[in-house]
Amino acid sequence: MRKYHAMFKCLLLAGLLSPLVSHGKQMEDKTDIQALATSPQWLTTKVYIEGAPEVDVKEKYPGVVGISMWDPGRNRYEFFYTDTGQSKYDNGGGGYFLVTGDKTTHILVPDKGTVRTVVRRLEKLNDEEFTYSREVPRDMVDTNAPVRIYVVHAPYRGPLKTSMSH
């Protein structure tokens, strides 16, 4: 019995003296949705199709190009045209957004328009870049096969000043 008592004390002491470490897989740092608030406006800088990041196809996907504003405190968003600064709100360009708990999916719920939800995969989100991807018909023609597009944004520092209308 004394032998087990001594062994138990040694194991207890070893456990107390060893550092508290996890031998499980460490989680990678995930994107912080508050990064959307680091810039008052974000500008679409590039759109490319999966597998061809060197080819900018913004002109074929004008519906995803613009200036965007995000309010993480209210979970509200609004999109604007880059040439006029006018809101896209009445055409589904404004509403609520949320990010899933694992911070990999960005979901838009427009207040108006024909589309009720848009599910996007968050690719990169930090103070200098916001990139998402989603599947759409090639060249935004409904009869075309779907492709995954990547939409890249950077903080907008241009002359247009936008403000959220809702």
Question: Which CATH number goes with the domain that contains 134?
Answer: 2.40.128.540
CB contact at 8 A, 136 and 151: no
On whether residue 5 sits in a domain, the answer given is no
Closest Cα partner for 151 from 138, 134, 139? 134
Domain that holds residue 51: 32-155
Query: Token pair for residue 84?
Result: 């006029």
Confidence band for 16, pLDDT divided at 50, 70 and 90: low
Confidence band for 3, pLDDT divided at 50, 70 and 90: low
Confidence band for 28, pLDDT divided at 50, 70 and 90: very low
On whether residue 23 sits in a domain, the answer given is no
On whether residue 13 sits in a domain, the answer given is no
Q: Find the range with the poorest average confidence among 9-13, 102-106, 131-135.
A: 9-13
132: which strand partners? 122, 151
152 — phi, psi (to 5°)?
-105, 135
Q: Counting beta carbons within 10 angstroms of the beta carbon of residue 46, is it exposed (0 to 12), middle (13 to 18) or buried (19 or more)?
A: middle
- State residue 25's pLDDT score: 40
- State residue 91's pLDDT score: 87
On whether residue 8 sits in a domain, the answer given is no
On whether residue 56 sits in a domain, the answer given is yes
Whether pLDDT at 33 is above 80: no
The Cα 38–Cα 129 span in angstroms is 10
- State residue 13's pLDDT score: 52
On whether residue 59 sits in a domain, the answer given is yes
- State residue 166's pLDDT score: 84
- State residue 22's pLDDT score: 42
On whether residue 27 sits in a domain, the answer given is no
Whether pLDDT at 103 is above 90: no
Q: Counting beta carbons within 10 angstroms of the beta carbon of residue 99, is it exposed (0 to 12), middle (13 to 18) or buried (19 or more)?
A: buried
Q: Look at the chain and report how many structural domains it folds into.
A: 1
Q: Is 33 left (phi over 0), alpha (psi -120 to 50) or beta?
A: alpha
On whether residue 21 sits in a domain, the answer given is no
* Percent of the chain topping pLDDT 70: 81
What distances in angstroms separate CA 79 from CA 45, 55, 132, one per listed residue? 14, 24, 15
* Residues 84-93, mean pLDDT to the nearest whole number: 93
The Cα 119–Cα 105 span in angstroms is 7
Whether pLDDT at 1 is above 70: no
Mean pLDDT for the chain overall: 85
